[in-house]
Amino acid sequence: MAGKGANQETLARVLWEQTRKQGLAHLYTGDGKGKTTAALGLALRAFGRNRGVAIIQFLKRTSIKTGELVFAEKMGTPSFTINQFGASRFATREEQEKVAASGQTVERGWQLARELAASSQHDLLVLDEVTHIVKNGQVPLAELLELVRTRAAFLELVLTGRQAPPALIKACDYVTEMREIKHPFNRGIRAREGTEY
């Protein structure tokens, strides 16, 4: 009997390991704050467990570095990278021109996203604000769905952004909607360093 219990325990452990290594797709959407924050929390957890993490942020690049970008630079490791592509919607015209001139365009970011999703270079890939570049027509929804379907087998994929299309919701394994109930911006409190960026 002791042997049977040990065999069941071994089988349970093998199944758990296979499940753990299965890459799933996460989607954080909705009009509330916390989509990027949740994605970064998951990235930090994965990194803490010795997983390689790559984060691509779309439409967030300005002259002011976000706290997460500063963190990645301080870490200085290829196991945790953040790249930003495309000017933020809050960027000045001058900042938008600098981003375009730098080559850090949405198109280049999407090319990198496709390369990283297809490779086994990282364990977790975050595509932050990816729904916006689909909504803006910069990337076809069909291409994003193809990336979700054909990504490397063990890659954990995290997508964020408002107004996720129903087809994307259907394609993902985890879907969380952030709903705004109250936000200090509505009382005139502007975005704060270390909290919103």
DSSP the chain: -HHHHHHHHHHHHHHHHHHHTS--EEEEESSSTTHHHHHHHHHHHHHHTT--EEEEEEEEE-SSPPHHHHHHHHH--TTEEEEEEEE-TT--HHHHHHHHHHT--HHHHHHHHHHHHHSSS-SEEEEETHHHHHHTTSS-HHHHHHHHHHS-TT-EEEEE-SS--HHHHHH-SEEEE---S--GGGGTPPP-TTTT-
C-alpha gyration radius of the chain:
19
Question: How far apart are alpha carbons 9 and 96 in whole angstroms?
Answer: 57
> Which residue stretches of the chain have pLDDT < 50?
none
Length of the chain (residues):
197
The pLDDT assigned to 15 comes to 65
The tokens for 164 are 């996720």
The pLDDT assigned to 195 comes to 78
The pLDDT assigned to 100 comes to 85
The pLDDT assigned to 85 comes to 95
The pLDDT assigned to 31 comes to 95
Domain extents for the chain? 23-179
The pLDDT assigned to 172 comes to 98
At 51-103, the pLDDT tens digits run 999 999 999 887 788 899 999 999 999 999 999 999 988 788 888 888 888 88
Question: How far apart are alpha carbons 178 and 192 in whole angstroms?
Answer: 20
CATH homologous superfamily for the domain 23-179: P-loop containing nucleotide triphosphate hydrolases (3.40.50.300)
Q: Considering the entire predicted model, what is its pTM? A: 0.86
